[in-house]
Amino acid sequence: MIPNTEITSAVDAPAGAFTPPGAARTINLPEFCRVMAVSRPTNDSEIHFEVWMPPTANWNRKFEGVGNAGFSGSLSYSTMANALQRGYATGASDTGHVPDDLKFGVGHPDKIADWAYRAVHVMTENAKLIIRDYYGRLPQYSYFTGCSTGGQQALTEAQRFPADYDGIVAGDPGHNRIHLMAGAMWTLAAASPLTAAKLPLITKAAIASCDAVDGVTDGVIDDPRRCNFDPGALLCKSRDNDNCLTAPQVESVRKIYEGARNPRTGERIFSGWTLGTETSWTTYFVGPTEPRRNEFWRLWVFNDPDWDWHTFDFDRDLAFADTKMAVINSVDADLRPFKARNGKLLMYHGWADDNVPAADAIEYYDRVKAAMGGADRTTDFFRLFLAPGE
């Protein structure tokens, strides 16, 4: 019997086509034991999770936990399928809720905590016990993989629960969540002079200026930090047209590259966006009339469905959010407990990521090196890889 957890289904699934709940396409899977369960670690928790286990003869004696995306509670069945096909026992949770909107957290701080950190840990502990009961032994090694929110979950595991996993892969982590969303708000305001029609012009000029820096002309900026592209080169010589930027537009692009800053003090709030990502700015900054995930501020921070983002105070309100919602961040740079257990952490980030700027991952990695006492005490257990064009 597993405390606070109910096994709702345990069936042997035959090899062949498997249709994940809510999916339109099937996945071809080998035979496996599918366990579905729900855990209630608090009175207001309801964390659904699944554990998939191949037959004993096909098990590689390892466990792979997988992360989620966004604020959603959807299990990443495709990632679980990949793990199963490679011989892993695998598990994932719904993070304690189902819909993607943030209404689930209104008046439910325990559900927010479940989403932020508890659900993955609970799934992991329970999965290992289920694996033990099925195979008669615990996994020899346990790994976690996740990207974006899953990348944040990966860092959360290393920071909060260093004994959960032997190896962790954190992709494009949205770990500095509060400042990511505050930065999106600041950037939306900073981008107001820009139009979608001007963005391809900026990207084309940035690539033309930076592409060959690495010695290869392939249409990809290898490392934007090595390029000194200035959007001022596109300043209109006379009147505004589609082939140039006005002075306010030039200043807008410079601000977006530099990153969000407190309008009063100039203090850094969040990382800037990467050279070469300009055409993707239409998703969040050029065109939208309100910041991404504005419901976070309305529903979770201010408890006001009618709150107007234009009233945000980057002194008072950001400090308030940092205190009230600190549970949703994964920014602790002290990974000594994880390293002490011989844990290994790989973090990767795509330079072209349009959800989280790569500079934020670099800044976290640099903070970890400082906390650990230097690069030589960090690279033996933690590495960062940057992917051009991704």
- For the entire predicted model, the pTM comes to 0.95
Helix axes 316-324, 177-190, angle to 10 degrees: 150
Cβ atoms within 10 Å, residue 19: 11
Q: Which two tokens stand for residue 47?
A: 């964390």
**Kindly report the CA angle at 106 between 101 and 110, in degrees rounded to 5?**
105
The one-letter amino acid at 61: R
Whether the Cβ atoms of residue 275 and residue 230 lie closer than 8 Å to each other:
no
pLDDT of residue 197: 95
As a three-state string, the secondary structure of 297-331 is HHHHHCCCCCCCHHHCCCCHHHHHHHHHCHHHCCC
pLDDT at site 72: 79
DSSP E strands: which ranges in 42-128?
47-53, 62-66, 89-93
The whole-number pLDDT of residue 273 equals 94
32 sits in the region (left: phi over 0; alpha: psi -120 to 50; else beta) called: beta
Predicted local confidence at residue 114, as pLDDT: 97
Distance CA 160, CA 383 (A): 19
Tell me the C-alpha distance between 123 and 125, whole Å: 6
Burial class, 290, CB count within 10 angstroms (exposed 0-12 / middle 13-18 / buried 19+): middle
Where are the chain's structural domains?
5-176+329-387, 179-326
Spans of the chain below 70 pLDDT: 1
Hey, what amino acid is at 67? Answer: G
For every residue of 113-173, DSSP letters joined together read HIIIIIHHHHHHHHHHHHHHHHHSS--SEEEEEEETHHHHHHHHHHHH-TTS-SEEEEES-
* φ, ψ (nearest 5 deg) of residue 260: -70, 135
**pLDDT the model gives residue 98:** 85
Say whether domain 5-176+329-387 belongs to CATH 2.70.150.10.
Answer: no
When the pLDDT of each residue in the chain is averaged and rounded to a whole number, the result is 95
CA distances to 68, 148, 190, 195 from 384, rounded to whole Å, are: 21, 15, 30, 34
Beta strand segments in 192-328, E:
260-261, 268-270
pLDDT (0 to 100) of residue 318: 97
Return the pLDDT at 22: 75
